């Protein structure tokens, strides 16, 4: 009953930004998480995306924004609605890998383009790849591979690793182990959305590990870090940027300072596109952008760049234009690999306190021009 | 696995259990006395956490924050009872579910409207932070021990309230026969408001206490609400004692299964597969527990009626 109700609520559009739908116009359906636990991520992606659209002044693009509430069934219904009744050309916006797995294969099979601003499950990068599916953020394993590479250089040889039990969590631990050369003191899967980590922390304490790697995005990371800091365990922590992004650092506070994390983007990356992005995002929304915002921004700019050289109705030309990635990324150098996933640098960042604001600064590069491990399995 | 680790996990299970009890107590009272299914109980948990975070941010005092959580949740509870819930007592359970589900959406979006979508900061006070060493060499966070103590104290207080005070007599009488105590001259509508506000205050307190070690964010109440419903079904609807026993059972099952099952599976599987299968099965186990209890005792462990 509740399920039906939720679906009914979700079906009413959250917001529609309507512009001209003329010749060569592109209609974009954005399905993202705007309410409930993971809303901060979706809001950042949406805000970054819409900022790029607004800055382009391009009036041939119409964006329909829907809220998936982090529920796969809701996302699937929204996708059906956007494809069948709204007749969108491009879908984008999904944050969570389990939702992406539910929506993307169906959407690309109906000849729609899907541009992922976040989720990059391994199943869609390897054998399940599709020429119409482009990931503008990363393949899920990437930041974790970088964390594993960093652990080697930091001299860690006995890591305790944990992640939630869902596709991106499994990719995370696989990714960390791919480049990490040491031993594992323990390996744990937590529940998605879990809020209490006392039991995991007790196991970390008892394990004799010399480092902890964790992937707990959003609120899960806040809970874990607060409880870890209070537990008195002082084993150094490494993680991907998701638990240390701008949106949640303020809620973690001092417990995060000094923690090393890996990211493909940071606000202090020195390239003109990024400097302009950080400044304009702050001016527009009154807060610092997160990596999710940068991904949304890059996704929109990729789409805009393709619209400049190709007509969406000529799918082959449009696909080639997307594949060329001829846009100024906030990450600097950006290119697509053979499976339409990024080839990019991944940096090591450290959490610092800047005045009253907790944020990150780049302290090194973990991996240069890094692709993903699944590209070889993909053949279009 | 060492005994120290096991003891620590038992404490963790206990702590989860007593926090669940604070949620379940209000839920079971409201269901028992008024026959109302209140899905919005988790929203009151969230209201408590947000009120605490806001007051702690403004004043820096954790005690004031707790007081604010109690007051805000009780006030929100009383208000909701007076304006909306009151009209639902005579309705079908389906109508109650529908209306209180609407309340969840209103509370969530209202909170987002006031506080924004990003999690708030609420932290443990200095004097309760850090671990202490228990007999046997167990390092355990002081704050979690405090949570166990506070939860158990409230359980004792509630038990006394129900068994020893005039209000308690009225509540028990209300559970047995609503019409009769109204006929005997008890102001039933006032009693309902008080019971609802009391349940809300407990949920708000739980939200504030737990919020300090978790993430204070919109929607934080719903996962706890589901567990709280499992608890009152196991414990028997309307029974405070059942809520306490049920909470601790669920807390211990959830925590210990999460630790022991992966360990068990790793005897005959690879570590990764064991971690993944074990944790998947562990998250199912409380529902399996609920099913078993319902098969053995359809009214729950301490439930008087179906």
**Predicted confidence (pLDDT) per residue in B186-203, tens digit:** 888 898 999 999 999 999
Q: Which residue of B has its CA nearest to A177?
A: B272
Domains: count for chain A: 2
- Contact yes or no for A49/A117 (Cβ under 8 A): yes
Identify whether residues A197 and A276 lie together within a single domain: no
Q: How many CB pairs under 8 A join A and B?
A: 138
Identify whether residues A282 and A251 lie together within a single domain: no
Cβ-defined contact of A248 to B16 (cutoff 8 Å): no
Identify whether residues A104 and A248 lie together within a single domain: no
Position A158 pLDDT exceeds 60: yes
Find chain B residues with C-beta within 8 A of A220's C-beta. 215
Query: What residues make up the domain containing A126?
Result: 2-138+270-340
| CA angle at A279 for the pair A274 and A283, rounded to the nearest 5° | 145
Q: Which residues pair with B132 in a beta bridge?
A: B140
> In this structure, are strands A15-17 and A26-32 parallel, antiparallel, or unpaired?
unpaired
Position A13 pLDDT exceeds 50: no
- Contact yes or no for B195/B15 (Cβ under 8 A): no
Which of the four pLDDT bands, split at 50, 70 and 90, describes residue B134?
A: confident
Find chain B residues with C-beta within 8 A of A172's C-beta. none
Q: How far apart are CA A17 and CA A323, in angstroms?
A: 27
DSSP readout, B129-195? Answer: -SEEEETTTEEEEHHHHHHHHHHHHHHHHHHHHHHHSHHHHHHHHHHH-HHHHHHTT--HHHHHHHH
| Nearest in space to B243 (alpha carbons), one of B255, B229, B231, B230 | B231
Identify whether residues A87 and A166 lie together within a single domain: no
| Nearest in space to B282 (alpha carbons), one of B263, B301, B300 | B263
Identify the residue among B110, B113, B215 best suited for mutation to test binding to A, counting A beta carbons within 10 A and taking the highest: B215
Give the residue extent of every domain in chain B.
11-218
Say which CATH number the domain at A354 has: 3.40.50.2300
Identify whether residues A52 and A200 lie together within a single domain: no
Identify the residue among B56, B116, B213 best suited for mutation to test binding to A, counting A beta carbons within 10 A and taking the highest: B213
For chain B, positions 246-265, list CB contacts with chain A under 8 A: 255, 258-259, 262
Q: How far apart are CA A49 and CA A70, in angstroms?
A: 19
- Provide mean pLDDT across the span B38-63: 94
- Contact yes or no for A323/A340 (Cβ under 8 A): yes
Identify whether residues A124 and A192 lie together within a single domain: no
Identify whether residues A277 and A237 lie together within a single domain: no
Identify whether residues A224 and A289 lie together within a single domain: no
Which of A140-154, A181-195, B227-241 has the highest mean predicted lDDT (pLDDT)?
A140-154
pLDDT at B172: 85
pLDDT at A21: 40
Residue-wise pLDDT tens digits, B264-294: 888 888 877 888 888 888 889 999 999 999 9
Identify whether residues A255 and A362 lie together within a single domain: yes
Q: How far apart are CA A364 and CA B166, in angstroms?
A: 68
Q: Which residues pair with B256 in a beta bridge?
A: none
- Contact yes or no for A274/A332 (Cβ under 8 A): yes
In angstroms, the separation between the Cα of residue A76 and the nearest Cα of chain B is 21
Q: Could you tell me the pTM of the whole model?
A: 0.82
Residue A113: CB partners within 8 Å, gap ≥ 6?
A: A89, A90, A91, A132, A133, A134, A318, A319, A322
Q: Which residues pair with A360 in a beta bridge?
A: A351
Assign A356 to helix, strand or coil: coil
Task: For the beta carbon of residue B86, count every other beta carbon within 10 angstroms.
Answer: 16
Identify whether residues A107 and A120 lie together within a single domain: yes
Identify whether residues A15 and A90 lie together within a single domain: yes
Residue A273: CB partners within 8 Å, gap ≥ 6?
A: A328, A329, A330, A332
Find chain B residues with C-beta within 8 A of A213's C-beta. none
Identify whether residues A161 and A251 lie together within a single domain: yes
User: What are the percentages of helix, strand and coil residues in chain B, rounded to 5?
Assistant: 75, 5, 20
Kind and range of the H or E element at A268?
none
Cβ-defined contact of A232 to B141 (cutoff 8 Å): yes
| Nearest in space to A264 (alpha carbons), one of A150, A352, A369 | A369
DSSP A35: S
DSSP A372: -
Mean pLDDT of chain A: 90
Residue A289: CB partners within 8 Å, gap ≥ 6?
A: A44, A48, A246, A267, A277, A278, A281, A282, A297
- Provide mean pLDDT across the span A48-68: 95
Cβ-defined contact of B130 to A247 (cutoff 8 Å): no
Residue B152: CB partners within 8 Å, gap ≥ 6?
A: B18
Cβ-defined contact of A226 to B258 (cutoff 8 Å): no
**Is the CB of residue B95 less than 8 Å away from at least one CB of chain A?**
no
In the block, tokens 């969230």 appear at: B46
């Amino acid at each position: 009953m509740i399920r039906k109700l939720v679906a009914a609520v979700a079906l009413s559009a959250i917001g529609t930004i309507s512009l001209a739908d003329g010749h060569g116009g592109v209609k974009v359906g954005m399905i993202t998480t705007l309410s409930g636990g993971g809303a901060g991520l979706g809001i950042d992606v949406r805000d970054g995306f819409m900022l790029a659209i607004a800055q382009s002044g391009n009036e041939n693009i119409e964006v329909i924004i829907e809220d998936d509430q982090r529920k796969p069934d809701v996302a699937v219904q929204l996708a059906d609605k956007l494809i069948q009744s709204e007749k969108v050309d491009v879908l984008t916006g999904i944050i969570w890998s389990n939702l992406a797995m539910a929506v993307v294969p169906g959407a690309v099979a109906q000849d729609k383009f899907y541009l992922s601003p976040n989720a990059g499950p391994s199943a869609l990068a390897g054998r399940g790849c599709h020429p119409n599916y482009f990931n503008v953020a990363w393949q899920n394993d990437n930041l974790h591979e970088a964390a594993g590479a960093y652990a080697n250089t930091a001299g860690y040889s006995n890591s305790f690793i944990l992640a939630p039990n869902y596709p991106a969590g499994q990719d995370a631990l696989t990714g960390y182990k791919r480049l990490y050369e040491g031993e594992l003191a323990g390996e744990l899967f937590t529940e998605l959305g879990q809020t209490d980590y006392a039991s995991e922390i007790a196991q970390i304490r008892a394990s004799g590990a010399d480092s902890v790697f964790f992937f707990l995005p959003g609120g899960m990371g806040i809970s874990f870090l607060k409880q870890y800091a209070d537990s008195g365990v002082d084993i150094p922590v490494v993680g991907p940027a998701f638990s240390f992004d701008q949106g949640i650092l303020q809620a973690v506070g001092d417990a995060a300072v000094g923690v090393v994390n890996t990211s493909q983007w940071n606000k202090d990356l020195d390239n003109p596109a990024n400097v302009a992005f950080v400044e304009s995002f702050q001016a527009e929304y009154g807060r610092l952008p997160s990596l999710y915002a940068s991904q949304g921004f890059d996704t929109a700019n990729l789409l805009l760049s393709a619209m400049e050289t190709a007509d969406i109705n000529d799918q082959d030309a449009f696909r080639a234009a997307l594949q060329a990635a001829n846009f100024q990324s906030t990450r600097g150098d950006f290119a697509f690999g053979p499976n339409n996933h990024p080839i990019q640098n991944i940096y090591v960042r450290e959490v610092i306190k800047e005045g009253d604001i907790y944020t990150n600064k780049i302290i090194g590069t973990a991996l240069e021009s890094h692709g993903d491990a699944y590209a070889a399995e993909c053949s279009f | 696995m060492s005994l120290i680790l096991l003891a620590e996990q038992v404490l963790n299970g206990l702590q989860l259990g007593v926090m669940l009890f604070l949620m379940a107590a209000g839920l079971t009272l409201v269901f028992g006395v008024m026959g109302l299914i209140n899905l919005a109980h988790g929203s009151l948990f969230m209201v408590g956490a947000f009120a605490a975070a806001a007051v702690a941010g403004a004043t820096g005092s954790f005690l004031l924050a707790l007081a604010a959580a109690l007051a805000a949740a009780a006030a929100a509870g009383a208000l909701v009872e007076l304006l909306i819930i009151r009209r639902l007592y005579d309705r079908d359970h389906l109508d109650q579910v529908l209306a209180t589900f609407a309340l969840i959406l209103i509370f969530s979006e209202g909170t987002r409207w006031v506080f924004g979508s990003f999690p708030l900061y609420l932290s443990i006070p200095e004097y309760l932070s850090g671990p202490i060493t228990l007999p046997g060499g167990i390092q355990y966070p002081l704050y979690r021990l405090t949570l166990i103590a506070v939860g158990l104290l409230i359980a004792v207080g509630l038990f006394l309230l129900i068994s020893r005070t005039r209000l308690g007599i009225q509540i028990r009488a209300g559970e047995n026969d609503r019409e009769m105590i109204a006929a005997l001259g008890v102001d039933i509508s006032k009693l309902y408001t008080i019971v609802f506000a009391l349940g809300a205050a407990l949920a708000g307190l739980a939200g504030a206490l737990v919020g300090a070690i978790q993430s204070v964010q919109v929607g934080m109440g719903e996962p706890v609400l589901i567990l709280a419903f499992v608890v009152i079904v196991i414990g028997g609807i309307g029974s405070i004692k059942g809520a306490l026993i049920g909470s601790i059972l669920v807390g211990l099952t959830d925590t210990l299964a999460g630790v022991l099952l992966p360990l068990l599976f790793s005897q005959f599987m690879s570590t990764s597969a064991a971690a993944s299968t074990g944790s998947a099965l562990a998250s199912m186990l409380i529902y399996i527990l609920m099913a078993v209890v319902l098969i053995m005792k359809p009214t729950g462990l301490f439930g008087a009626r179906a």
